[in-house]
Amino acid sequence: MRVNMITSEAKPFLKVGGLGDVTYSLSRKMVVYKIPTSITMPYYRNIRENKLGLNIEKVSTFEVRMAWRKLQCDIYKTIYQGITYYFINNDFYFDREKPYGYLDDQERFAFFQLASVQMIYEMELAFEILHIHDWQTGMIPLIYDQFYKGKLKKEPKFIYTIHNPAFLGLVDRKDLYDYFTINESYFDNGLTRLDNKVSYLKTGIMTSDRITTVSPTHAKELLNGFAGRNLQSCLEYRKGIVRGIINGLDVKEWNPDTDPFIHVNYNKENVLSRKIENKIQFAKEMGFKDPSLPLFSIVARLTEQKGLDLILDSLKEMMDHKCNVFILGTGEKDIENKIAYYQSVYPDNFVAKFMYSEELSHKVYASSDFFLMPSRFEPCGITQMISHRYGTLPLARATGGLVDTIIPYNGSNHEVADGLLFTEYNKNSYLVAFKMALELYKHKRPFSKVVHNAMDVDHSWKKSYLEFRNLYLEAMGRD
């Protein structure tokens, strides 16, 4: 069995969100278990400028047809950690300052999808599984069906993973032909149509052999209408092939015992004393007045989805209960402005850094007592897993993958709990959980037990790998 991941991002070359982690880590685990796996992604400017010391060579050139246009495509290739990377390049589409955020993103990723399948044909590659990810790849099964069925060395099965259903990949009806050279009848019959637009995401749902979301609870939420915008009906139609598989974590990268970025390393045996050392140093660097106070932290994109408004609305009550709060991230300017205002109100106890720093994020996990995730929705979430790994207790809203990965403390179950959850998205529900966290923190024995429970949780990729491997075999009709 040979697998090709087709994705808009993958480590170590590009990581904007969790997608970059997942595509690399799952591919790496496949390779470790002797399943040949490759990754196809765009050849962004930052990759050609920062090749990480690798030999990236051009291996093919061909023309991609987009209706009346014929556009040059160059294929580059390298190998990293046993994974073969194929890079799709067209200078107009991908030689840009950033990977996303342009008005023509849908056209750019139309080219990427067409080129990804044509590359397999032109280079006579053979894959039993094409694992595609999010809206940027949703048209690929239809492209294959229209132009390449019966022409490839292997007839692949398509696995479609939806990481974030909020992004639908919408274009006009005419773009079905203008971008893909596909007849508009596929819009008229409803296969590609969503809210009177062509949706790359819906097309992937309707044409793939298996569909996965990034947690079992999120799969249920999608089938129950969480995604809205008419996605529920097409997911319901295909519910027999929908699976929820929790992402794993790179436990080598996220390991407090060997982490090169933190002040002092630690493990389960010395976590409580060493965490205090990290917290004191972190407080000194960040400017907290009293490092002995419990530290609640956030590392996230500062968007409405992440629930920052809930924290800011509750901040006065939190400060009244004597704690420190730290926020690391960038995002929506109005949220950043509100956070900056509260920094001026509570300069000794509330600190934010509007940036993303891998090194600083490691220090946050190692120094914090609690990690806040008050998300409106969270398909899977990875930061609660990192928090567990570092003995930092997640305090999260009960949604999506957070339900599947956190056993909530209820005031008495410290023998099994590894975090805290609140159900309703409102200030009162959050503050109940916040006060329970403070109460737990005051009692050393139950607190230390919950911390140890958190560090015992296995978030490695092994279980997720087995589920994906079995899903691949199922799609291929093998036991």
The confidence score (pLDDT) of residue 17 equals 78
Domain extent, residue 214, equals 3-248+462-475
Query: What burial letters (b/e) apply to 81-115, b meaning 16+ CB within 10 Å?
Result: eebbbbbbbbeebbebeebeeeeebbbbbbbbbbb
Integer Cα distance of 284 and 292 in angstroms: 12
Q: Determine the distance from the C-alpha atom of residue 238 to the mean position of all C-alpha atoms in its chain, rounded to a whole number.
A: 23
Same domain, 232 and 280: no
| 165: in domain | yes
Same domain, 469 and 452: no
Count other C-beta atoms under 10 Å from residue 175's C-beta. 20
Same domain, 305 and 356: yes
Q: Is 449 exposed, middle or buried (0-12, 13-18, 19+ CB in 10 A)?
A: middle
| 316: in domain | yes
Quickly tell me which residue has 């044509």 as its tokens: 118
Integer Cα distance of 291 and 182 in angstroms: 62
| 56: in domain | yes
Strand partners, 198: 171, 193
pTM: 0.90
Integer Cα distance of 298 and 329 in angstroms: 8
Same domain, 223 and 321: no
Strand partners, 302: 331
| 258: in domain | no
pLDDT in tens, the chain (479 residues): 999 999 999 999 998 878 998 999 999 999 999 999 999 999 999 999 989 999 999 999 999 999 999 999 999 999 999 999 999 999 999 999 999 999 999 999 999 999 999 999 999 999 999 999 999 999 999 999 999 999 999 999 999 999 988 899 999 999 999 999 999 999 999 999 998 999 999 999 999 999 999 999 999 999 988 755 578 889 999 999 999 999 999 899 999 999 999 999 999 999 999 999 999 999 999 999 999 999 999 999 899 999 999 999 999 999 999 999 999 999 899 999 999 999 999 999 999 999 988 899 999 999 999 999 999 999 999 999 999 999 999 999 999 999 999 999 999 999 999 999 999 999 999 999 999 999 999 999 999 999 999 999 999 999 999 999 999 999 999 86
Same domain, 128 and 201: yes
Same domain, 222 and 289: no
Candidates 385, 373, 464; CA nearest to 418 is 385
Amino acid symbol at 26 = L
Integer Cα distance of 61 and 58 in angstroms: 8
DSSP H or E segment with residue 150: none
Same domain, 202 and 141: yes
| 265: in domain | no
Integer Cα distance of 87 and 79 in angstroms: 11
Helices in 376-418 by DSSP H: which ranges? 383-389, 401-405
Structure-token pair, residue 266: 């630690």
| 260: in domain | no
Strands 170-171 and 193-194: unpaired
Structure-token pair, residue 234: 């097409």
Strands 83-89 and 69-80: antiparallel
- Number of domains making up the chain: 2
Integer Cα distance of 248 and 357 in angstroms: 22
**Contact yes or no for 77/87 (Cβ under 8 A):** yes
Same domain, 157 and 177: yes
Same domain, 288 and 392: yes
| 255: in domain | no
Query: Tell me, what CATH number does 16's domain have?
Result: 3.40.50.2000
Q: Determine the distance from the C-alpha atom of residue 98 to the mean position of all C-alpha atoms in its chain, rounded to a whole number.
A: 18
Same domain, 79 and 152: yes
The confidence score (pLDDT) of residue 30 equals 97
Same domain, 201 and 335: no
Candidates 470, 438, 254, 449; CA nearest to 363 is 254
Integer Cα distance of 382 and 253 in angstroms: 13
| 253: in domain | no
The confidence score (pLDDT) of residue 227 equals 57
3-state secondary structure of 148: coil
The confidence score (pLDDT) of residue 18 equals 82
Integer Cα distance of 322 and 390 in angstroms: 23
**Contact yes or no for 393/451 (Cβ under 8 A):** yes
**Contact yes or no for 375/217 (Cβ under 8 A):** no
Same domain, 451 and 466: no
Integer Cα distance of 71 and 73 in angstroms: 6
Q: How many residues does the chain have?
A: 479
The confidence score (pLDDT) of residue 229 equals 54
DSSP 115-141: HHHHHHHHTT---SEEEEESGGGTTHH
